[in-house]
């Protein structure tokens, strides 16, 4: 996870994959970090799988997991699903520091005709 924080995604992937292989139900943090690394390496299908796992383990209560899931859904062309996650995030956490980012992404999806407002 430290390698992800340093944006060394290529180096982060192998140990994160090994960690999940050894302990698949280790919680949301490892899945989120691996999803983040995959996303930045443009491995969107794998990123989505990890983001969904992190989402399930976090019980939809961790802002960075919600935002990663929305990003991954958009990256694979599931714009309405992404918008649904963003709307849910904004409804549940309107005062979260990441709410402005979620709003900006949602507005961008609408402005680009990817979703119906």
Q: How does DSSP assign 69-112, residue by residue?
A: HHHHHHHTT-HHHHHHHHHHHHHH-TTSTTHHHHHHHHHHHHHT
CATH number corresponding to 2-111: 1.25.40.10
pLDDT at 26: 77
**Tens-binned pLDDT, residue by residue, of the chain (117 aa):** 788 878 888 899 999 999 999 987 778 999 999 999 999 999 999 999 999 999 998 987 788 999 999 999 999 999 999 999 999 999 988 999 999 999 999 999 999 999 987
CA distance 52 to 72: 9
Predicted confidence at residue 36, as pLDDT, reads 94
Which sequence spans correspond to the domains of the chain? 2-111
Q: What is the pLDDT of residue 107?
A: 96
């Amino acid at each position: 996870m430290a390698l992800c924080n340093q944006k060394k995604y290529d180096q982060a992937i192998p140990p994160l994959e090994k960690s999940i292989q050894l302990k698949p139900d280790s919680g949301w943090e490892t899945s989120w970090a691996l999803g983040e690394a995959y996303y930045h390496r443009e491995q969107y299908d794998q990123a989505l799988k990890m983001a969904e796992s992190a989402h399930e383990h976090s019980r939809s209560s961790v802002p960075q997991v919600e935002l990663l899931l929305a990003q991954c859904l958009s990256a694979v062309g599931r714009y309405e699903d992404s918008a649904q996650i963003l709307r849910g995030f904004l409804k549940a956490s309107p005062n979260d520091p990441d709410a402005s980012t979620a709003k900006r992404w949602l507005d961008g999806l609408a402005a680009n005709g990817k979703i119906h407002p």
